């Protein structure tokens, strides 16, 4: 299995395991850049990285696991901005402004990473998925809002699905993407939803 990048509490990794992980991710990126994501297999990754198949298998579990690890690694910059970047994405803005900013950043992230995201999902069993970054961060911000009557854990799941589901369906399935028109539309839709859900009716 890939080492989950646990959110907020980094998982310690032995130095050689960390080196192997970086080598595998770098090699995977090179293979994708050269031949596209469809040509990346466990066997090719093992061969090209010079590590054993067993190492690749233990590290990633499945082909989808390779892409999940790439996505996690790409996600780290976004995590860093949330934890210590400038507001409104980073700390220091109101929870509503941070929710809107997070959604915008996530939408652009998924639009840029949709080929990797797609391969991380395809063929993966429907069970055993861990809560995504979005759900964890959205839940934290919703707790700060203290919405009367809200089931915050469930609401975080609902908003995560609302943020990511339609965008991923569109990116995976729609006609060729015109990047900025698409992300503008989804960013506006996310802002609308957050304002309806989170700004108290006066």
Using the contact rule CB under 8 A, the part of the chain among 56-64, 70-78, 88-96, 167-175 near a copy of itself is 167-175
Residues 6+ apart with CB under 8 A from 194: 96, 99, 100, 103, 159
Q: How far is the CB of 135 from a copy of itself (least distance, A)?
A: 9
Three-class SS state of 122: coil
Cα–Cα dist 98/152, whole Å? 16
Q: Could you tell me which residues are beta bridge partners of residue 172?
A: none
185 contributes a contact to a copy of itself by CB under 8 A: yes
Which is closer to a copy of itself, CB of 24 or CB of 141?
A: 141
Which is closer to a copy of itself, CB of 15 or CB of 181?
A: 181
Q: How far is the CB of 175 from a copy of itself (least distance, A)?
A: 11
193 contributes a contact to a copy of itself by CB under 8 A: yes
202 contributes a contact to a copy of itself by CB under 8 A: yes
182 contributes a contact to a copy of itself by CB under 8 A: no
Q: Which of residues 107-166 bind a copy of itself (CB under 8 A)?
A: 118, 121-123, 125-129, 149-151, 154-155, 157-166
Integer angstrom CA distances of residue 192 from 16, 49, 73, 183, 202? 47, 46, 30, 14, 17
DSSP 38-88: GG--HHHHHHHHT--HHHHHHHHSSHHHHHHHHHHHHHHHHHHHHHHS-TT
Which is closer to a copy of itself, CB of 21 or CB of 191?
A: 191
Q: Which of residues 1-60 bind a copy of itself (CB under 8 A)?
A: none
Number of alpha helices (DSSP H) and beta strands (DSSP E) in the chain? 9, 0
Cα–Cα dist 19/49, whole Å? 12
176 contributes a contact to a copy of itself by CB under 8 A: no
Which is closer to a copy of itself, CB of 80 or CB of 172?
A: 172
Q: How far is the CB of 128 from a copy of itself (least distance, A)?
A: 7
What does the binding site for a copy of itself look like in residue numbers (CB under 8 A)? Answer: 118, 121-123, 125-129, 149-151, 154-155, 157-166, 168-169, 172-173, 185-186, 188-189, 192-193, 196-197, 199, 201-202
């Amino acid at each position: 299995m890939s080492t989950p990048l646990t959110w907020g509490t980094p998982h310690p990794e032995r130095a050689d395991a960390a080196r192997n992980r970086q080598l595998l991710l770098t090699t995977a990126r090179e293979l994708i850049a050269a031949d596209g994501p469809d040509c990346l297999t466990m066997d090719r990754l093992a061969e090209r990285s010079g590590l054993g198949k067993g190492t690749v298998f233990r590290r990633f579990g499945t082909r989808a696991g390779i892409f999940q690890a790439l996505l996690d690694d790409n996600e780290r910059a976004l995590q860093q901005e949330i934890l210590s970047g400038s507001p409104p994405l980073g700390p220091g803005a109101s929870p509503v402004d941070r929710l809107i900013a997070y959604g915008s950043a996530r939408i652009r992230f998924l639009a840029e990473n949709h080929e990797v995201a797609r391969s991380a999902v395809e063929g993966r069993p429907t069970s055993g998925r861990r809560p995504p970054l979005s759900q964890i961060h959205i839940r934290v911000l919703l707790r700060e809002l203290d919405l009367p009557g809200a089931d915050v854990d469930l609401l975080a799941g609902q908003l995560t699905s609302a943020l990511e589901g339609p965008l991923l369906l569109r990116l995976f399935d729609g006609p060729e993407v015109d990047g900025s028109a698409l992300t503008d539309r989804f960013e506006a839709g996310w802002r609308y939803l957050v304002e309806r859900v989170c700004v108290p009716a006066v």
